[in-house]
Amino acid sequence: MLSVGVFAGILGALLGLGGGIVVTPILVIGFNLPIHYAIGASIVAVIATSSGASIAYLKDDLLNIRTAMFLEIFTTVGALLGAILAGFFAPIWLNFFFGILLMYQAFRMWRKLYGKQVSETVAKPNQLAHKLQLNASYYDKALGKQIDYHVENIFLGSLIMLWAGLASGLLGIGSGMFKVFAMDSVMKMPLKPSSATSNLMMGVTASASAF
């Protein structure tokens, strides 16, 4: 179990997944733990993984704190709802949902590795984002310069975050794949701050689910 924790922590931090997507199936299949208990244990592990990964991103000044705190309103509501619903589903349905999630994650990773690389697009200034002060900047070490970026499609991004929270509470995962997708593809944030901010948000979402 200690080895599983180390492996899940490394993989979760590298891929921005939180580690729950590794812990839950291994506990169920490898250690024959009932899935409801595996989900509970996994979501607590996600809190630790998120905290550790966020420290490094904080030092590199990649986190968008205001965007994270705004979107956490929706993920926290979804997480509480998902955790409550998990108690009403039979184990076979939770296993089924988790299997679908794993297949979707595998497809997303395959597309990242072998699909066409899409260049980052610059978002247009958004009035609501400006009012909420969600726009930010970060220093890109690879490019050696400061990059300013704008946030858009806030409403659609918030709906995806609600779903991310629901999946987190229901299945005991960090839902990093949904959060990165919402910020990077929908809200037009650059990938680096999207991944960093997702890692920070996973800890808050997992805390609500664990409670």
Q: 115-128: per-residue pLDDT in tens?
A: 655 445 555 667 88
- Read off the pLDDT of residues 6-53 as tens digits, 9 standing for 90 and up: 888 777 766 666 677 788 888 888 889 888 888 888 888 888 878 777
With CA atoms as reference, report the closest residue to 12 among 54, 63, 73.
54
Its pTM stands at 0.77
What is the pLDDT at residue 27?
87
Lowest-pLDDT range, 73-77, 115-119, 133-137? 115-119
